[in-house]
Amino acid sequence: MNEKEKELNEVLEELAKNLDITDTEDAAIRESYNAVGEFLAKEGTLLDKYEVEIFPQGSFNLGTIIRPVKEGDDLDIDLVCELKSKEPNWTQYDVKQQVGNRLKESKRYKNLLDEEGRRCWTLLYRDDAPTTTQKYHMDILPSIVDKNYKTIVREMYSAKELSESDYNKAAIRITDKDSPDYKISPIPETWLKSNPFGYARWFELQQQKGRVESRLFASEDVKPLPAKRKEKTTLQRVVQLLKRHRDIHYAGDDDKPISIIITTLAARAYDGEKDLTSAFHNVVAKMRNYIETRMVDGKEIKWVPNPVNSQENFADKWPESPRKQRLFYEWLDKLEANIHNIVSSNDRLLLERHFSDSFGKEMSQKTFAALAKQKLNERKSGNLRMSTSGILSSVGSTAVAAGHNFFGGETDE
């Protein structure tokens, strides 16, 4: 890696770190879902005998959650509410209403409840948030799981290689108001299937490409939620950057590219690159290669297969809403152009402009300011010197550097 690539990597790493939620936000979210879980499963109450547990899914569980572009916008937290049993005659409707009714027994949760969603109950943590950056909402998805579900998940997390049938063992059955048998069938096997923890294990294995170790997470972390980590993997950072770019260009648009497609394509395209610059550049260049074209009912449609259930298409909304597909490819075009501009920039001011166009002006300014301060401190301590290429580095060289402005520039103090 040359000096320019090293410095670009520093910028991307710093930017990605700035996308993380704070420790305070993370702690508040964990406290909230633990409290909800304890309330739903409290001994002697409505759901006690059904062995209820609450677990995060989605970006919070994958470690790819990012801060919203606009301060004051909600963080989106997805939770699974697992019931290990139910009454024999309960349909999807009954399971969902039982969870909702239990939440409504609490004055606090009743006041936090939003209108009932298609699959979830949503709690809006807003009015009592200590700051505008700690607002979030929790989508609680009622589900039915096998009594041995914890054992199934643990076995899946201990395996080094898994087939689709292995992942399928961790599937859960969920409630969906739009399902034809929502109020009819009491048989969970006929209900809509989801597999959030099978997907999480698949994503973890994708992160391990090119690594010697067989596991990223210690066994005690398989709850299945891992604890928050200061250090993210390269793939997690790539996904965060992709989602930020999406949010900058399409925030507020209901047809914007959805995170599950972005995450899946990025994970498939990731080839074990160690540094963020190479990984980001190569993932962006290859993402569209993993969008399939399949014949369905005599028509060609785009297909982004669920890696733990190849018959599920994450892009299933594209045929009925062509604008979603058009915006996704439009986003990929913008992404590829922006990354090309970034990696080919040799001037600091031009580089900052390209970062602002790609990831937002405020976030980019914060990133460059933090790195400038770091370089200034290194220079004052005598650790920052000029390389033979004229690009500042904290390694090698002979001359003490002048004020640094990235990629070969100097400034007067």
d(CA 219, CA 221): 5
Q: Is 401 part of any domain?
A: no
Residue 307: predicted pLDDT: 97
Cβ neighbours of residue 141 closer than 8 Å, sequence gap 6 or more: 57, 78, 79, 80, 81, 119, 120, 174, 175, 194
Distance CA 199, CA 221 (A): 16
Question: In the listed set 348, 364, 380, which residue is the last one of a domain according to the structure?
Answer: 364
CATH number of domain containing 104: 3.30.460
Residue 396 in any domain: the answer is no
215 in Cβ contact with 161 (< 8 Å): no
Q: Tell me, yes or no, whether 375 lies in a domain.
A: no
Asked whether residue 130 is assigned to any structural domain, the reply reads: yes
Beta carbons within 8 Å of 242's beta carbon, 6+ residues apart: 262, 266, 283, 284, 335
Longest dimension (CA), the chain: 79
Q: Which residues of 135-151 are buried (b: 16+ CB within 10 A; e: fewer)?
A: bbbbbbbbbbbbeebbe
Q: Are residues 142 and 263 in the same domain?
A: no
For residues 217 and 286, state if they share a domain: no
Looking at the domain assignment, is residue 411 inside a domain?
Answer: no
Are 205 and 101 in the same domain? yes
The answer to whether 371 and 348 have CB atoms below 8 angstroms apart is no
Residues 315, 349, single domain; the answer is: yes
Q: Which residues, 6+ apart, have CB-to-CB distance to 362 below 8 Å? A: none
One domain, residues 153 and 247: no
Q: Are 48 and 138 within one domain?
A: yes
pLDDT (0 to 100) of residue 379: 77
Residue 254 structural domain = 1-20+232-364
By residue count, the chain amounts to 413
Q: Do residues 94 and 221 both lie within one domain? A: yes
Do 39 and 52 meet the contact criterion of CB atoms below 8 Å apart?
Answer: no
Quick check: is 394 in a domain?
A: no
The confidence score (pLDDT) of residue 2 equals 79
- Full-model pTM: 0.88
> How many domains are contained in the chain?
2
Query: Which residue, chain included where needed, has tokens 């210690």?
Result: 218
Kindly state whether residues 59 and 202 are assigned to the same domain: yes
* pLDDT for res 393: 38
Do 198 and 170 touch, CB atoms closer than 8 A? Answer: yes
Residue 379 in domain = no
Looking at 328, 349, 364, the residue that finishes a domain is 364
Query: How many other CB atoms are found less than 10 A from the CB of residue 199?
Result: 24
What is the bridge-based pairing of β-strands 75-83 and 299-303?
unpaired
Tell me whether residue 405 is in a domain: no
Q: At what angle do helices 322-344 and 234-250 cross, to 10 degrees?
A: 120
> Domain check: are 75 and 188 in the same one?
yes
| Backbone conformation region of residue 285, classed left if phi is above 0, alpha if psi is from -120 to 50, else beta | alpha
- What whole-number distance in Å separates Cα of residue 125 and Cα of residue 137? 6
What pLDDT shows up at residue 375?
Answer: 80
Quick one: which of 314, 277, 356 has its CA closest to 8? 277
**Backbone Cα Rg of the chain:** 24
- 264 and 217: one domain? no
Same domain, 188 and 296: no
Contacts of 156 (CB under 8 A, 6+ apart): 162, 166, 167, 169, 170, 197, 198, 201
Same domain flag for 205 and 63: yes
Write out the chain's pLDDT in tens, 413 residues.
Answer: 778 888 899 999 999 999 999 898 898 899 998 999 999 999 999 899 999 999 899 999 999 999 999 877 889 999 999 999 999 999 999 999 999 999 999 999 999 999 999 999 999 997 655 554 468 999 999 999 988 898 998 898 888 889 999 999 999 999 999 999 999 999 999 999 999 999 999 999 999 986 644 344 333 333 445 555 568 999 999 999 999 999 999 988 999 999 999 999 999 999 999 999 999 999 999 999 999 999 999 999 999 999 999 999 999 999 999 999 999 999 999 999 999 999 988 888 899 999 999 999 999 999 999 888 888 887 777 665 544 333 333 333 333 333 444 444 434 33
